[in-house]
Chain A
Amino acid sequence: MNMITAITSDPAETLERGVAVSVRGLTRSFGGPNVLDHVTFDIAQGEFVALLGRSGSGKSTLLRTLAGLDAAPAATLAVPSARAVVFQEPRLLPWKRVWKNVALGLRGAEAKERAFAALAEVELSHRVAAWPLTLSGGEAQRAALARALVREPELLLLDEPFAALDALTRLRMQNLVAALWQAHRPAVLLVTHDVDEALLLADRVMVLQDGGIAVDVTVPLDRPRRHADAAFNRLRTSLLAALGVH
């Protein structure tokens, strides 16, 4: 796509360095002050990065730019072409049965088998032929996750995918995403406003503030992680402080 400019003259070199996403001095504005102001960061291959920020901090803008949904004329960023997005809403086509939604855009004869396999992975085998509007919120979001995974993305972009779910479903979905990430190892950018979620899932947490990356910390906790952990709590406190919550 035209909006993606390779940082290095040779994109293969970027891959050799083990980097999935490279953002250098990305600036975005919508007529006012810059929403993103010279943002610079990398995401390694297979790395799970959570992006925190208050509402309006530009985290969704950043994700949409990486997804190629918003053009970024002056940006210098390199992203893999195999990308997939899961939005806050499932965004399934209501007139296609669940498996057809998952298979949408897949080329090749075995598209149906791949769709069924992806749906099995998210434990939706019993709903493959259902109409999307008959799914529960959690089921629909799992279908959206299957639709993203079936494309075998090198970069998985998650835009607050659990925000609209109830608390119990959210916990199950977080575990599912962690398991799927461990199985497939795409690079992940998870946009969220939930500090606990970020600490539960991510290798690294970034906080977006005033158009820039204000905090960029690795999470040195063993998996599976537990909320009760003391180190977990210390990180949470410091991240909440960075977000202006005391």
Chain B
Amino acid sequence: MSGAILTRANAPALRPAAARRPVWRRVNNALRRAYMPLFILAVWQACSFAGLTSVQNFPPPSAIASSFWELLTTGQLIGNILVSLTRVCFGLGIGVAAGTLLALISGLSRIGEDAVDSTVQMVRTLPHLALIPLMIMWFGIGETPKITLIALGSMFPIYLNLFAGIRGADRKLREAAGTLGLSRFETVLNVVLPAALPNFLVGLRQAFGIAWITLVVAEQINANAGIGYMVMNARDFLRTDIIFVGLAMYALLGLGTDQTVRFLEKHLLAWRPQFLSEGAQR
């Protein structure tokens, strides 16, 4: 460098110039991460077109898109997605509620911990998907075994994370709250639970993931509606394209729930430095 010093005179001139980047450049920045997936799709399509891959086993993106459109216009897709979403919502709702309740009991009192924690920790070691045969014996093949499985699977991440969050709440802050004359209940409400909220949201993210996995497995056994049913049905009719549509739907729903948790984090944890630096300061 030849001693170029940023003076008061030329420094402000630099910033507006950076903000006024050409439009194509900004579009380019937004799309940069999309180039590679688009390229892969193009190669896939080309291979299929050239006869390099079996259309039966590996249908080209264009065929998958047209089956998607067909399933969408006949209303089949929406109906099945709604069935699957309902299962996840109910299962997750019950699982999150149960996990939260158990974590509160066990996190907020020693007696509660003695009563709850060891049992939950023992049950947790059992892979919940191993219970499918038992569930079918107990509840038949209706919605109950599917929702129960999802609830069971999503309960544990909520419990574990929330419990850790409650116990990890900063002792110094609890102490300060005590000097301010807050009752125990007020301290829990104002200090302990907000401190545990980030952990809860981590648990929620994991619970969503487990709920989708459980749904996939549960729906492929003895279902007469839902994305899993659609996929298994397609297998029987050798409709690989529909199977791909089903997989894409699972991916999209998973992405959607991830965005939901991100949204929750951004609003509920607006006080955190990483969100403050994003300009969420109101």
Contacts and interface: CB of A to CB of B under 8 A. Distances in A.
Contacts of B195: 95
A93 B276 CA distance: 16
Interface string B271-282: 111001000010
Bin chain B's interface residue count. 20 to 34
A87 to B, nearest CB: 7
Interface string B243-263: 000000000000000000000
B180 A104 contact: yes
Given A104-B190, A133-B276, A93 B180 contact: no
A96 B178 contact: no
Contact of A89 (B172, B180, B182): B172
A211 interface: no
A105 interface: yes
B194 interface: yes
B172 A93 contact: no
Interface string B146-182: 0000000000000000000000000011011111111
Given A87-B172, A87-B176, A93-B191, A131 B276 contact: yes
Interface in B60-105: none
Interface of A: 67-69, 83-85, 87, 89, 91, 93-96, 104-105, 130-134, 147, 151
Top 3 A-B pairs, shortest CB-CB distance: A105-B180, A91-B176, A95-B194
Given A91-B175, A94-B272, 19 more contacts: A69-B178, A85-B176, A85-B179, A95-B197, A95-B269, A96-B194, A104-B177, A104-B182, A105-B181, A105-B186, A130-B281, A131-B270, A131-B271, A131-B276, A133-B271, A133-B276, A134-B281, A147-B180, A151-B180
Interface of B: 172-173, 175-182, 186, 190-191, 194-195, 197, 269-273, 276, 281
